[in-house]
């Protein structure tokens, strides 16, 4: 199988318009489309051989583009153009791309003329990063698809078929993000962006209390937290979240009780237990994840989700994904036990999406110079 590589640089929100279609011009290596509506002023298609089409959508045609660190092949190859009243189609030997002159959205076809990748929407928004102007970008294809997606690099979350999954691409010493996916429908997509990128839901996971109502064992907002040293209860308090993901969080939020200092607990066993309930007003299957190192045991709805098998070295915390079904307004019991030894822990949540969005091919990047 030789997949097509489509760099989702397509542009433009899908929107209703009665205006006339945009325009296009032929170039030496493809076409430049100037759609009538949407965030992209130009959608540039360049041929790269007989099976690859590179697409770049820009909100400002004068914006200087960053040289790619991923795609090194030069544009060039034979192609043909055809036009209807509101579309233009670029055809190469093993693929074709039809661009709407109205909104710039693109549909890709294989050599037989079968549509394999249909763009549903895209977005380009100005952002400032360290005082410099960039754009955040996103694009979505094949809403409601049942196809399988594979790739995105070397990860630690036991995710194989990525359809319906959420993956954050950033580089760690044990987690390697590569924004390339291959479909079982015989095509591939390279999302050419070097910034933090999310595959799947564009909204980042948040601490559990962002979306859920947390209630302590005595009915207060938050979770009941009990701190033990050598099985002796030292402190009970209500905490708004399980929020020890970073060393700075521990410095800020760890109890100041003298019996819980590092010096006082050296050589002793410290244990923290959080208990309470979680409630959502959004029914359905919710994605959650426990970030943890050292020993941790998580129970949700009186079922053990993770036990000591997820142990990791204290400095090497990572995410453990799980899903939880919620009924609107119904409280779900939660209990988390942690035995820290220099480690970190936090509980995260993401609201459910409509199935058509959940099962689509979608990339979102925090910063770049175009949809590429």
State residue 20's pLDDT score: 60
Whether residues 84 and 105 fall in one domain: yes
State residue 156's pLDDT score: 83
Beta carbons of 3 and 182 less than 8 angstroms apart: yes
Task: Determine if the pTM surpasses 0.75.
Answer: yes
CATH number assigned to the domain comprising residue 253: 2.60.120.380
Whether residues 67 and 137 fall in one domain: yes
Beta carbons of 198 and 364 less than 8 angstroms apart: yes
Whether residues 182 and 232 fall in one domain: no
- The number of domains in the chain is 2
H or E stretch at 250: helix 247-253
Whether residues 37 and 110 fall in one domain: yes
* CA dist., res. 240 & res. 250, Å (int): 14
Whether residues 176 and 279 fall in one domain: no
Domain around 320? 206-352
Beta-ladder partners of 38:
none
Whether residues 250 and 344 fall in one domain: yes
Whether residues 34 and 171 fall in one domain: yes
Whether residues 214 and 293 fall in one domain: yes
Whether residues 107 and 245 fall in one domain: no
State residue 99's pLDDT score: 98
β-pair type (187-190, 5-7): parallel
Whether residues 96 and 52 fall in one domain: yes
The residues, ordered by sequence, that sit 6+ positions from 253 with a Cβ below 8 Å of its Cβ are 239, 243, 244
Whether residues 246 and 106 fall in one domain: no
Whether residues 19 and 162 fall in one domain: yes
pLDDT in tens, the chain (372 residues): 333 444 433 322 222 233 467 999 999 999 999 999 999 999 999 999 999 999 999 999 999 999 999 999 999 999 999 999 999 999 999 999 999 999 999 999 999 999 999 999 999 999 999 999 999 999 999 999 999 999 999 988 889 999 999 999 998 888 899 999 999 999 999 999 999 999 999 999 999 999 999 999 999 999 999 999 999 999 999 999 999 999 999 999 999 999 999 999 999 999 999 999 999 999 999 999 999 999 999 999 999 999 988 999 999 999 999 999 999 999 999 999 999 999 999 999 999 999 999 999 999 999 999 999
State residue 158's pLDDT score: 85
- Max CA-CA distance within the chain? 78
CATH number assigned to the domain comprising residue 98: 2.60.40.1760
């Amino acid at each position: 199988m030789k997949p097509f590589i489509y760099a989702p640089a397509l542009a433009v929100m899908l929107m209703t318009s009665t205006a006339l279609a945009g325009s296009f011009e032929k170039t030496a290596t493809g076409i430049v489309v100037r759609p009538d509506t949407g965030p992209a002023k130009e959608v540039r298609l360049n041929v790269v051989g007989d099976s690859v089409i590179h697409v770049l959508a820009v909100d400002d045609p004068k914006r200087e583009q960053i040289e790619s660190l991923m795609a090194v092949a030069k544009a060039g190859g034979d192609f043909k153009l055809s036009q209807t009243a509101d579309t233009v189609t670029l055809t190469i030997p093993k693929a074709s791309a039809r661009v709407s002159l109205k909104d710039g959205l693109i549909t890709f076809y294989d050599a037989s003329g079968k549509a394999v990748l249909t763009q549903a929407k895209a977005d380009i928004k100005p952002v400032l990063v360290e005082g410099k102007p960039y754009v955040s970008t996103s694009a979505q294809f094949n809403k409601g698809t049942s196809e399988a997606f594979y790739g995105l690099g070397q990860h630690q979350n036991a995710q194989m078929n990525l359809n319906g999954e959420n993956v954050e691409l950033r580089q760690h010493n044990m987690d390697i993000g590569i924004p390339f996916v291959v479909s079982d429908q015989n095509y591939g997509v390279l999302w050419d962006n070097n910034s933090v990128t999310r595959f799947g839901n564009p909204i980042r996971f948040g601490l559990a209390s962002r979306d859920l109502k947390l209630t302590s064992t005595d009915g207060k907002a938050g979770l009941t937290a009990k701190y033990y040293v050598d099985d002796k209860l030292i402190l009970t308090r209500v905490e708004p979240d399980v929020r020890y993901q970073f060393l700075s969080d521990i410095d800020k939020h760890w109890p100041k009780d003298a019996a819980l200092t590092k010096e006082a607990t050296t050589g002793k066993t410290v244990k923290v237990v959080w208990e309470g309930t979680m409630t959502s007003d959004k029914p359905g299957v919710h994605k959650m994840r426990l970030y943890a190192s050292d020993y941790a045991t998580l129970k949700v709805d009186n079922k053990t989700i993770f036990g000591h098998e997820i142990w990791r070295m204290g400095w090497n915390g990572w995410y453990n994904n799980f899903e939880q079904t919620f009924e609107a307004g119904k409280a779900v019991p939660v209990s988390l036990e942690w035995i820290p030894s220099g480690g970190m822990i936090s509980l995260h949540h993401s609201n459910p999406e409509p199935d058509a969005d959940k099962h689509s091919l979608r990339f979102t990047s925090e910063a770049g110079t175009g949809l590429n």
